[in-house]
């Protein structure tokens, strides 16, 4: 495959997790998405999504990989909606492929990775967290029929955050607002406030979310591609991509 061909593939492709796991040799990924499995970076485990670099050379090698290959995640989605006295719950899991060759993804990633390199070259400590799942969460909320502007339901997604750092990642219990509020006396007693001040002084921490991209879905008998922005179904000669609710 010509690398340039990858920019014509969807920016984000979701595959029902069971279908993906049953495809032991990942031939489905090659045949239905057009992506050779050798071009996939495996981010399906939390360990693989925490990336430490010690030198500028290591960071440059990582940047080259991230921008030239496809990123595959395993995510879990949970949605709750109250309807009268009834609480309705949806749970789904997907393998999700993010395509950094797509212009929208490249425009998002390139400045973040360039900034990380600037910190390394300046001898500074940095930690970059990239959350790739916002558009997937919005898409999931829409296909189950909950308006994005309606606050009747809550949606959570896990498994699509990536850390890139050269010293350490933040201690979650010390910086997460909900944990600080719920455990404030202990947070204060054990130096949580001092940790936050020191972290802010000594580190360049940045968190960014990938938003506003379309989500395509792989099915067994797909003939269509659906985007969250337009909600218009466009016929395509493919056996791979379709709205999940077809």
- SS3 labels along 97-164: EECCCCHHHHHHHHHHHHHHHHHHHCCCEEEEEEECCHHHHHHHHHHCCCCCCCCCEEEEEECCEEEE
Is 191 part of a structural domain of the chain? yes
CA nearest to 44, candidates 74, 23, 20: 74
Give the three-class secondary structure for 223.
coil
- Beta-sheet pairing, 12-16 with 70-83: unpaired
Given this model, what pLDDT does residue 229 score? 35
Digits of tens for pLDDT over the chain (246 positions)? Answer: 566 667 788 999 999 888 888 776 566 666 666 676 778 899 999 999 999 999 999 999 999 999 989 999 999 999 988 878 888 899 999 999 999 999 999 999 999 999 999 999 999 999 999 999 999 999 998 888 765 555 567 889 999 999 999 987 765 655 556 666 666 665 565 556 665 666 676 778 899 999 999 999 887 543 333 333 333 332 233 334 433 333
Given this model, what pLDDT does residue 226 score? 34
Residue 33 CA to residue 218 CA, distance in Å, equals: 8
Is 174 part of a structural domain of the chain? yes
- Beta-sheet pairing, 224-226 with 161-165: unpaired
CA nearest to 134, candidates 60, 62, 75, 63: 75
* Crossing angle for the helix pair 103-121 and 56-68, to the nearest 10 degrees: 180
CA nearest to 88, candidates 44, 144, 5, 126: 144
Is 97 part of a structural domain of the chain? yes
Which structure tokens are listed for 62? 């990582």
Given this model, what pLDDT does residue 9 score? 85
Given this model, what pLDDT does residue 221 score? 41
Is 243 part of a structural domain of the chain? no
Is 9 part of a structural domain of the chain? yes
Which structure tokens are listed for 171? 């201690």
Is 245 part of a structural domain of the chain? no
Is 167 part of a structural domain of the chain? yes
Residue 234 CA to residue 246 CA, distance in Å, equals: 14
If one counts the domains in the chain, the total is: 1
Given this model, what pLDDT does residue 142 score? 86
Is 242 part of a structural domain of the chain? no
Which range marks the domain in which residue 181 is found?
Answer: 3-235
């Amino acid at each position: 495959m010509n690398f340039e061909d990858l920019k014509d593939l969807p920016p984000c492709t979701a595959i029902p997790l069971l279908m993906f796991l049953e495809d032991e040799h990942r031939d489905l990924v090659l045949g239905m998405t057009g992506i050779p499995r050798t071009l996939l970076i495996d981010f399906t485990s939390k360990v693989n999504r925490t990336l430490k670099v010690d030198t500028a050379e290591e960071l440059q090698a990582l940047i080259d990989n991230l921008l030239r290959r496809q990123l595959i995640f395993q995510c879990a989605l949970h949605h709750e909606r109250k309807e009268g006295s009834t609480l309705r719950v949806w749970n789904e899991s997907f393998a999700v492929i993010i395509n950094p060759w797509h212009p929208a993804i490249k425009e998002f990633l390139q400045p973040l990775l360039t900034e990380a390199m600037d910190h390394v070259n300046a001898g500074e400590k940095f930690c970059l967290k990239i959350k790739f799942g916002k558009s997937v969460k919005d898409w999931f909320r829409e296909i189950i029929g909950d308006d994005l502007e309606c606050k009747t339901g809550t949606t959570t997604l896990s498994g699509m955050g990536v850390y890139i750092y050269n010293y350490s990642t933040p201690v979650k219990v010390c910086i997460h607002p909900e944990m600080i509020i719920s455990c404030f006396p202990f947070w204060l007693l054990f130096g949580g406030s001092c940790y936050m001040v020191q972290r802010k002084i000594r580190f360049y921490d940045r968190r960014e979310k990938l938003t506003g991209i379309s989500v395509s879905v792989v099915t067994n008998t797909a003939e269509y591609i659906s985007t969250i922005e337009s909600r218009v179904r466009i016929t395509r000669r493919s056996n791979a991509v379709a709205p999940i609710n077809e």
